[in-house]
Structure 1
Amino acid sequence: MARMKIFNTPEEEAFESPPVFNSSERKRFFSLPLLLEDSMVNLRTPINKVCFLVVAGYFKARRKFFARQFHHTDIEYVARQIGINPSEVCIESYSKETYARHQRAILSYFGYSPFDEAAKTIIINEIAALIRVQFRPKLVLLEIIQVLTVKKIAIPSYNVLADLIVAALNSHQRTLSKIIEACLTENQRTNLDTLLEKEPSNSTEEGWRYRLTLLKKPNQSTRPAKIRANLADLGTVQTLYLDLMPVVQRLDLSYESIRYYAYSVIKAQIPQVSRRADEDRFLHLIAFIVYQTFKLNDILIDILLSAVQAAVNAAEKEQKEVYFRERDQRNQSFTTLVEQFRQNVQETLSAIRTIVADAKLNDSQKVVLIDGVLNEKSAKPAQVEQQIDEFKQSAVKIQQGQDYFALLETRSLKLQHRVAYIIRQVQFAPNCSKPALWAALCHYQQQDGNVDKSAPVDFLAEDQRAALTATDGKFRVSLYKALFFVEVAETIKSGALNLLHSEKFRSLDEYMIQKADWEANRAEYLQRARLEGFADCKATLKALEKTLDARYKETNQNLIAGNNPCLTIRADGSFHVSTPKQEEVECLSLGTFFPERKYISMLEMLATVDHATNFLDEFEHWQIKYQRARPVKKILFAGIIGYGCDIGHSKLAEISKQIDDGELDNAVNWYFSLQNVQGANDRILRLTNRMSLPNIYRNQSDVLHTSSDGQKIEVAVDSLNANYSYKYLGKDKGVSVVTFIDMRDLMWHSTVISSAEREAAYVIDGLMHNDVIKSDIHSTDTHGYSEVIFASTYLLDFEFAPRIKGVSRQQLYAFKHRKHYEEQGYLILPDHYIRENYFEDQWDDVLRFIATIRLKVTTASQLFKRLNSYSKQHPLYRALKEFGKIPKTLFILKYCDDLQFRQAIEKQLNKVEGSNKFSKAVSFGHNQEFIQSEKEDQEIAEACRRLIKNAAVCWNYLYLSQELASEKNEERRAELIEAIRNGSVATWKHFNLHGEFDFSDERMVDSMGLAVPKNPDWKSD
């Protein structure tokens, strides 16, 4: 049987070959310390001296030995550096024994151990642990290389590591099969195999469909019929899941492994599943049941949250409309009331004054006359009192929200049709931090949603409880249910109520490195996460205090000395900072240097870049042991274009030549995973990153400035990932595509989020996707900023530089009191004091949170979404927010003081806007709308669109590099360099993105046989 391929052939060759250095890298890695050069003194021959230094340089770069392989350019460089004639160095004379001795010396110097039996045992255990949580062999291999580096063990050959991983995979598979064989009862086996049988269905012509097929794709719609279908599916899979729970617990599969097996079922046809060996088939079906149970629970809760929010928004909107509609009536009533008051009171008082002033009357007569006046006016005050009562009732009604409760009650039935059965059927975790709501939830589920006045109401506010009793004394059941649904939704969003069977709605602590594991291995986790420098909270704060003091001093000194004319102090003590635009450089447009009379087709551009990068090699079959040949290149290109241009694969196959519909469907199904498309993007970026021309955009050779921003895009189908954004999408639902780009126009990451979500939670995700592009400074607009993000980026060693709207209104902080800085004559002063006690007690959890992100145990966005949903008084949230005020203040002080820094931020954010325009040009197939319903499919489409853009940028760099190399005219060459420096390579006008038109005679023949009717009847009866 063929060995499983973990690395493809080019990757394996690159792994087993010495690194290829450019000139700067050669200087870096072959400039060895004096201590190592001392070891060379004892070497007698020129060959040994040169080879020793080259081997040491290779090891320094890759922590690996390369079996006496050398690049001739490296031999020449090192020989010249130590005064040896390169012609005297004969590699063939470098013996194995000498090489082995040199290896031991190099290992000793760098403090590394050889990969011996002891090391092998350690790595076998590490691989076994990784296999349990990460089923992709390639990711396991990459992680093991990192483990070897951290543990200072020399990296062995590819075959050694690959064989260990394959052996561990096979062993793990055998263990799972034994558990299945031992634990699965005959009844459970029968129930699982029943999924592979057909049952009646109205959706097919033959009237029968496999049960498993019916369970594969949950509905994304919020229509009641679709919700009921999801609930029915949940009933089926959750019943099986609960029955299989003991087996699931024994298998102890990670979510990644569950997803791998489940998708193998979802992507496969039923006969392919049926043909698997018994234990293997049952393992896949069990994983499918677990995955679909979690997914359906998550989808139903998303529907609940969406439906409740829609009801609340509608009620609040109508309440406002009613209020403004009745405003004129209230104003008129008030005016009438005041006028009647005036007339009644003034006339009565005037008559009484006349009587009192009459000297002819005695006191008794006056009393009788006054009483008569009051009795005469008695009817009118009754009308006034009635109007006062009505006005008072209206005010109370507005104040107590009675209009809102009534409006919410009218929407209760519609809401019940969508969420009542969800709350009854979903299983919630009992560790709810709101006991009153938990009691109401249990009561609701026990009563099957049939509630009356005995239902618990302690979870409601006082005014809500009061509103439950109608004026006739009846209990308002519909209002109770609506308020109950709203409170359940809010409690889920706040993290106080979680689900038992879910991936999205669990407690925050479940997503982080387990506390017991952290406490037992804290030092190792800190080392692997590169957080040793922050291990001591007090030392960290002491260093930051010095840095912050120095920053206040520098900013204020420049202001006082007049070195910062863009920063001014207002009369109230606040500051204002202006950012003048950079002066435009007069130069030729970069577009003039690209082909003028020839448009490059998208297919040619992709094929050219693939020839240079082999990015199609990243499209691997979903099943890791699949050994057949991958689809031909044109099929994969068609898949990329179908996704990236939003054409759709069926339509693309129909309108294209030499593309088979079946082959394309099969390729898209099995080869187009998000991981594969991201890998293809990385392959292109890796080549572009190594080119010298892109570095023309760097201000400093060792600093890479990046940015991210969102673009709102409509979704043409039902999708729970879509939401309303009236400012950008009007009445339609859509998503936000967040794109990450560097100063060289390389787009290394993108994600698709709901248009209602803030982008800040996803900033760290992009920065952690740093296999190729490693950001030094990252900028966003205000939507991507928060103090928690400032804290996280600082601890992850990124400089965060957002463009904050109204930066002068932001609060500044310091460790010392404001008076300390006032005494030094500073004008830019702190507003508040850093409360160190907020994060000192939580410091260990802060480090555990950051280590979870750095080690990619959980995505940062998942952690932030759960953390942000909690109460703002959550200790970890409060600690991160308070700590984040320190780097935020450092940033604002630098931002105010450094004009070039501000201009660089503006320029970098403009890069994202250019990328968004490029996206619109590429996405022409469906009115620039997503045609996928599920978030992952939307992200695959977006990754393909980004792949097309990255390929275009790479093609442009290749073309411009060739033009520069071939240009002999120095003046013309200088013009080209200036055009590149002041232009953008993210340009596409010379590409034909839309395909070619066929004007051949055969295309002008009517294929439908249409004819004009003799008597066209266009009128309706």
Structure 2
Amino acid sequence: MANYELRYVGVDSLPVRLSEFDVQQYFRLSAADVAAINERFRADRRTAVAVLLVFLRACGRPLDRFSALPKMLLAHVGEALGVQPPTIATLRSLYTRRQTLYEHQLWLKDYLGLKDIDQAGSDLLVSYLSAQANEVNSVDELVTAANHWLYERKLLILGDRQVRDLARQCHAGVDAAILKAIKAVIPGNAIARCQSVVFGLHKGGSFTVLEWLKTPPKRHSPTTLAETLEKIRFLKSLEVHTWTFESIPLEKQRGYAQAIQARRPAKTRELKASSQTIELVFFLRISLLELTDMVIYQSGRRVSDLVRQAYDKTQTRQARSSVEYRERLVSIKTLVDDTSRSAEERLASIGELVADVARAANNSHAASVRQMLTEEPTRVRSLLSSLQDLNFQGRPNDNSLKLLISLKDIYAGKLTELPQDQAFPIDKPWRELVDDPDRKKALKAMEACAMVGLRKSLRRGSVWIDHSFSYRERDQMLIAPTDWAKDRERHLSILGMPADADTFLEPLLKHIEVGLQAVADAKQQGKLSVDAQGTLHLPALQALPEEIDPKRTRDLMFKQIGDVQFPDLLLEMDAQTNFSEILLARRARDERELVALYAALIAHGTEIDAKSVAAMTPQLDPDQVSVAMRALEASGRLRRANARVVEFQGRHAIAELWGSGKTASSDMMSLDASKHLWNARVDPRRRTHAAGMYTHVLDQHGIIYDQPIVLNERQAGPAIEGVVRYNDSTDRVRLSLLAVDTHGYTNPTMAISKLLGFDLCPRLRDLAERKLFLPRILEAPEGLDQVLVRDVSLGAIRKGWDELLRLAASIRSGRVSANVALQRFGSAAQGDPVHRAADQLGRLLRTLFLCDYFSNTAFRREIHTILNRGESVHQLQRAVYFGKVSPERGRRRDEMIAISGSHTLLTNLVVAWNTHRMQETVDKWRRSNQKIEDTWLARMGPAHFAHVNFRGMFKFGVSRYADMLLNQTSVPSKRIAI
């Protein structure tokens, strides 16, 4: 629904000031159109028919008789037909006789192949809208979907009232079905109890339980963890964890939950009973799932904190031990030199000094850290005790789950020592500590072992919780085995992958052989070298010769473009793309609503908060901005608006000089955040707390996907997720190559990306990672033995091939996100057949990539160029958001997504505005015969921001674009049905 080609679908009038760009994109007359009109109509009728033709083709419904026709459209039609058009006209002035208008419209219907919808088509439309109503939460979105459905099937779009009535009917039907499903799962008395408890006061205080549940977690601390666990226990007391709604899409459930989150509790109580029941049930269910994820994340961070503190203490102790060791050496030397004592006495004294040295020397650093963890029993036991109520489940052979169950019994019995006569499944590194004769110390060791093991088990998926988004049973996230067996061929066809591993491996190994020969040739030609340690070295890329003309042209171009105020830029881009219509799911009703939307975008997408934006915008007050900010959290709208803007930017001819749209780069940009934000982490570079924004930047400079992530975690999952979701759309060029830095790849990621239809190309930072991995059966040219590692197991790939395809198909179909999938099958899952297959295949694919990277200088330069292009966009992003995320924002998942999406949209709007103005300038110069080469333009970029004033007073001149942005329905439509 964000497709730029469908921008005008469903409208019955046009803005008076239609741009030349829009005319060329939507309302252009072809040579065939001109010939058909000239053959069928006399000269004085051709202009009117041409206007009807281009409008009906672009909009799918007849033009309103009373709307003024854009001057630019009339000029274009006149030029195409070779006639002098009127400068001011309406359809009514062009057709004084209605019968003539009716006859011309009938001819146009036949010429364009349009038909009226019949009963069968109407039934199909109702079925389609009913299916769409399961995905969206707004009647306005259903209206847009209906218009697009009719347009794509060349059916004349119905009147707005008819479409809206159908949408309301389908929306109400879905709500009724959902209410029926809820009542089938939850008894009526349980629903009544939930409503009574939730709207009551929390612990006799001054706020309701609903407000308490809506309060997001605060800073990362034991107190926050305890409060989150208290909310989970409360929701489980209402039996929320037993509710299952498999037939209702998750995004639909989220939509109902967001409605409660964005509304005051008093307003929720005023809803009719059916609506209140639906929204409240899904709010409680989604809250439980999200809170469970938060608890597991917070407990994982707590484990990391305890391990890090033990590591620091171990280092301090070892430093102190080195001082003591030196003092002992001095004491031993003193004893050796003491001739006043006998040799036996001196040996005895030396023996006493070194009595405990032997045991300490046998301990590794990791063993010392484990020993230190056993000396921190209080916090370890407190964490494990608090997690006892979560009802973990797992595989029968998972040791950490067995230990957790045993500890639950020990805590229930209030034991302070580990029972001597009971065997426990202890991991080998912890066995010595747990076997300590001091059973109190043994219990502490077992607790530390269970704590560390539980975190790892959750990450690899061998332990899970049913009431969670990201930590459910691993097999539940994938396509069910029965469905996979039944639909395997269909999924393989979508992936474009063979059913047999050897069919995939044979051409891959042949390509690797060719690549190895290219590397050997490059080594002989001196383009690369291998040192004595077997490390491969590449010479630095030579910079392209600096040209003065492109730099002068760029400076002159932006000087001519001139400065712009941020509000003016937003308005102009909205007039070009109608992104506000996507964000609201309709056109804004009045100027205040539109300005509030812009202010909400700025409040989410920059460091300025709602109160400050309202102070900078004379038309608004803070409450209006806050309401609009909550509306922006609606699922999917910001992403669709971004897609519309990026597509508009890519339609310019100059964008094709920057790239084909088939390659992109991805990287994370950290936004400074308050340390009181529970999901903020310390940026290792700047040593400040920050939140991560992961973006995919197209080779044409637009940001095509964004997602908030946590710092200091692998970025391989987000890298794949962005490409998969972007490639989901069938009406755009698919990405075939993604460039990332070292942090954005792993061997399994290389494999999964290939199975999903694109190549992952990492710029490897460490020389040690530039090894070439091969199976033993593959021959290699001479001279490369030092950089070859022959440990790839083709048998492991064959063994795990089917499950690997199932994993890729599950990601492709959207059953599981790449982020979660790669966590479950990542390094924590070592030993799993799927992980081993992905790791071995990824080694082969990395070898093939490195062969191209080493031997092909042009390819290497392309990868660096794409990555640098992404960095230039990051500079613009920092200009848009240069401050800090405040502690009051970003605590909820939906709010963090809104911050990321709004920031991306504001960045894309600047890129699109620059591109549009650059194209206008280039066209103007070429019309005046001013020299400008395409090679110059290819070396410029639109990520320029020195001319944009992002701050100051925000004055939105909406009146200039009112006919393009506002829903002006004061005059009833009087178009003629055909």
Task: Report the Cα distance in structure 1 between the residues aligned to 2:824 and 2:742, rounded to whole angstroms.
Answer: 21
Q: SS at 2:714's partner residue? A: coil
2:405 pairs with 1:408: no
Q: SS at 1:635's partner residue? A: helix
Q: SS at 1:802's partner residue? A: strand
Residue of 243, 254, 275 corresponding to 2:249: 254
Residues 854 and 477 of structure 1, relative CA distance in 2, 3 Å threshold: closer
Q: Which residue identity does 2:821 align to in structure 1?
A: L
Residue of 522, 535, 545 corresponding to 1:583: 545
1:441-478 Cα shifts (integer Å, max 9, x gaps): 25416744834334566233466454357787655655
Counting only pairs closer than 5 Å after superposition, residues 215-364 of structure 1 correspond to structure 2 as 215-242=213-240, 245=242, 248-249=243-244, 252-337=247-332, 340=335
Give the superposition deviation at 1:582. Answer: 2.3
Partner of residue 543, structure 1: 507
Task: Report the Cα distance in structure 1 between the residues aligned to 2:150 and 2:800, rounded to whole angstroms.
Answer: 32
Q: Which residue identity does 2:746 align to in structure 1?
A: S
Moved more, 427-436 or 891-900: 427-436
Task: Report the Cα distance in structure 2 between the residues aligned to 1:910 and 1:694, rounded to whole angstroms.
Answer: 17
Give the superposition deviation at 1:311. Answer: 0.8
2:567 pairs with 1:603: yes
Give the superposition deviation at 1:602. Answer: 0.8
Residues 989 and 445 of structure 1, relative CA distance in 2, 3 Å threshold: farther
Higher Rg of the two aligned structures = 1
Counting only pairs closer than 5 Å after superposition, residues 890-929 of structure 1 correspond to structure 2 as 890-926=848-884
Matched pairs, number: 890
Counting only pairs closer than 5 Å after superposition, residues 359-378 of structure 1 correspond to structure 2 as 377-378=343-344
Say if 2:200 and 2:209, in contact at 8 Å, map to a contact too. yes
Give the superposition deviation at 1:232. Answer: 2.3
Partner of residue 491, structure 1: 457
Give the superposition deviation at 1:101. Answer: 14
Task: Report the Cα distance in structure 2 between the residues aligned to 1:339 and 1:604, rounded to whole angstroms.
Answer: 83
Q: TM-score, normalised by structure 2?
A: 0.79
Residue of 608, 612, 616 corresponding to 1:647: 608
1:237-274 Cα shifts (integer Å, max 9, x gaps): 111135x83xx347743322221221111212223322
Counting only pairs closer than 5 Å after superposition, residues 442-841 of structure 1 correspond to structure 2 as 443-444=407-408, 447-448=411-412, 450-454=414-418, 458-461=424-427, 464-467=430-433, 474-475=440-441, 477-527=443-493, 530-557=494-521, 560=524, 562=525, 565-570=526-531, 575-578=536-539, 579-587=541-549, 588-589=551-552, 590-595=554-559, 599-620=563-584, 632-673=593-634, 675-698=636-659, 702=660, 704-725=662-683, 727-730=684-687, 732-770=688-726, 771=729, 774-806=734-766, 809-814=769-774, 817-819=777-779, 821-822=781-782, 831-832=789-790, 834-841=792-799
Q: SS at 1:780's partner residue? A: strand
Moved more, 633-642 or 274-283: 274-283
Give the superposition deviation at 1:610. Answer: 0.9
Give the superposition deviation at 1:613. Answer: 1.1
Counting only pairs closer than 5 Å after superposition, residues 168-179 of structure 1 correspond to structure 2 as 169-179=171-181
Say if 1:706 and 1:908, in contact at 8 Å, map to a contact too. yes
Say if 2:583 and 2:641, in contact at 8 Å, map to a contact too. yes
Residues 29 and 847 of structure 1, relative CA distance in 2, 3 Å threshold: farther
Give the superposition deviation at 1:568. Answer: 3.5
Task: Report the Cα distance in structure 1 between the residues aligned to 2:951 and 2:833, rounded to whole angstroms.
Answer: 54
Alpha carbon RMSD of aligned pairs, Å? 4.9
Task: Report the Cα distance in structure 1 between the residues aligned to 2:483 and 2:142, rounded to whole angstroms.
Answer: 20
Residues 258 and 717 of structure 1, relative CA distance in 2, 3 Å threshold: farther
Task: Report the Cα distance in structure 2 between the residues aligned to 1:427 and 1:630, rounded to whole angstroms.
Answer: 52
Partner of residue 40, structure 1: none
Give the superposition deviation at 1:878. Answer: 1.6
Give the superposition deviation at 1:502. Answer: 0.9
Partner of residue 943, structure 2: 986
Give the superposition deviation at 1:787. Answer: 2.0
2:802 pairs with 1:844: yes
Q: SS at 1:389's partner residue? A: coil
Q: SS at 1:817's partner residue? A: coil
Task: Report the Cα distance in structure 2 between the residues aligned to 1:433 and 1:16, rounded to whole angstroms.
Answer: 67
1:754-797 Cα shifts (integer Å, max 9, x gaps): 11111112111221242557433221111112222222222222
Counting only pairs closer than 5 Å after superposition, residues 891-970 of structure 1 correspond to structure 2 as 891-926=849-884, 931-967=889-925
1:948-1005 Cα shifts (integer Å, max 9, x gaps): 2211111112222222222268685428x6654333221111111121599xxxxxxx
Task: Report the Cα distance in structure 2 between the residues aligned to 1:5 and 1:541, rounded to whole angstroms.
Answer: 39
1:252-301 Cα shifts (integer Å, max 9, x gaps): 43322221221111212223322333233222221122111212222112
Give the superposition deviation at 1:707. Answer: 0.9
Give the superposition deviation at 1:320. Answer: 0.7
Q: TM-score, normalised by structure 1?
A: 0.76
Task: Report the Cα distance in structure 2 between the residues aligned to 1:7 and 1:875, rounded to whole angstroms.
Answer: 44
Task: Report the Cα distance in structure 1 between the residues aligned to 2:833 and 2:12, rounded to whole angstroms.
Answer: 46
Task: Report the Cα distance in structure 2 between the residues aligned to 1:680 and 1:5, rounded to whole angstroms.
Answer: 6
Q: SS at 2:207's partner residue? A: strand
Counting only pairs closer than 5 Å after superposition, residues 367-406 of structure 1 correspond to structure 2 as 377-396=343-362, 398-399=363-364, 404=369
Task: Report the Cα distance in structure 1 between the residues aligned to 2:442 and 2:26, rounded to whole angstroms.
Answer: 77
Residues 777 and 251 of structure 1, relative CA distance in 2, 3 Å threshold: closer
Say if 1:135 and 1:256, in contact at 8 Å, map to a contact too. no
Residues 329 and 673 of structure 1, relative CA distance in 2, 3 Å threshold: same
Say if 1:220 and 1:934, in contact at 8 Å, map to a contact too. no
1:143-196 Cα shifts (integer Å, max 9, x gaps): 9999999xxx96766669998876654433222323445665453133122145
Moved more, 532-541 or 736-745: 532-541
Partner of residue 190, structure 1: 192
- Larger relative contact order (CA 8 Å, sep ≥ 6): 2
Residues 219 and 14 of structure 1, relative CA distance in 2, 3 Å threshold: same
Partner of residue 858, structure 1: 816
Task: Report the Cα distance in structure 2 between the residues aligned to 1:94 and 1:237, rounded to whole angstroms.
Answer: 61
Partner of residue 422, structure 1: 386
Counting only pairs closer than 5 Å after superposition, residues 55-204 of structure 1 correspond to structure 2 as 169-181=171-183, 184-199=186-201
Q: SS at 1:534's partner residue? A: coil
Say if 2:535 and 2:767, in contact at 8 Å, map to a contact too. no
Task: Report the Cα distance in structure 2 between the residues aligned to 1:460 and 1:687, rounded to whole angstroms.
Answer: 60
Say if 1:609 and 1:955, in contact at 8 Å, map to a contact too. yes
Q: Which residue identity does 2:840 align to in structure 1?
A: E
Partner of residue 974, structure 1: 932
Task: Report the Cα distance in structure 2 between the residues aligned to 1:407 and 1:832, rounded to whole angstroms.
Answer: 39
Say if 1:644 and 1:944, in contact at 8 Å, map to a contact too. yes
Task: Report the Cα distance in structure 2 between the residues aligned to 1:381 and 1:995, rounded to whole angstroms.
Answer: 82
Q: Which residue identity does 1:453 align to in structure 2?
A: E
Q: Which residue identity does 2:9 align to in structure 1?
A: E
Task: Report the Cα distance in structure 1 between the residues aligned to 2:27 and 2:756, rounded to whole angstroms.
Answer: 26
Q: Gapped runs of 5+ residues in structure 2?
A: 15-20, 33-37, 41-56, 64-72, 81-100, 956-978
Task: Report the Cα distance in structure 2 between the residues aligned to 1:472 and 1:541, rounded to whole angstroms.
Answer: 56
Residues 900 and 669 of structure 1, relative CA distance in 2, 3 Å threshold: same
Q: Which residue identity does 2:634 align to in structure 1?
A: S
Give the superposition deviation at 1:583. Answer: 2.3
Q: SS at 1:894's partner residue? A: helix
Q: Give identity over the alignment, percent.
A: 17
Task: Report the Cα distance in structure 2 between the residues aligned to 1:819 and 1:15, rounded to whole angstroms.
Answer: 68
Say if 1:413 and 1:478, in contact at 8 Å, map to a contact too. no
Partner of residue 10, structure 2: 13
1:718-749 Cα shifts (integer Å, max 9, x gaps): 33432234x3232x432222222123221222
